Amino acid sequence: MAQLVVGDLTVELDEDGFLEDYAVWTEDVAHALAATEDVEELTEDHWKMINYLRDYFEQFGVAPMVRKMVKDTGYDQKKIYELFPAGPGKGACKIAGLPKPTGCV
């Protein structure tokens, strides 16, 4: 099992680089995960998407479908891929600390 060291914190990752434990996520962990996804800087737009994903997951226990992300955030699919080049499932959900979405990765 892989690990990611963020300051004094060591977090466990699954074989695809997703957090094993959603609860250990912090903004510092998000920055470290972003670096693994070739996202150099987390902008206000990134945080809007990350916070949306975390809120949705906390409410429903799953990551939203891409169509729902587009509708709720106002970002079109092209914008989401500009923010998260690996895509909404692999990139955005990983950086937000969500478990790996089924069928997306």
| DSSP code for 37 | T
The set of catalytic residues is 104
DSSP calls for 50-96? HHHHHHHHHHHSSPPPHHHHHHHH---HHHHHHH-TT-IIIIIHHHT
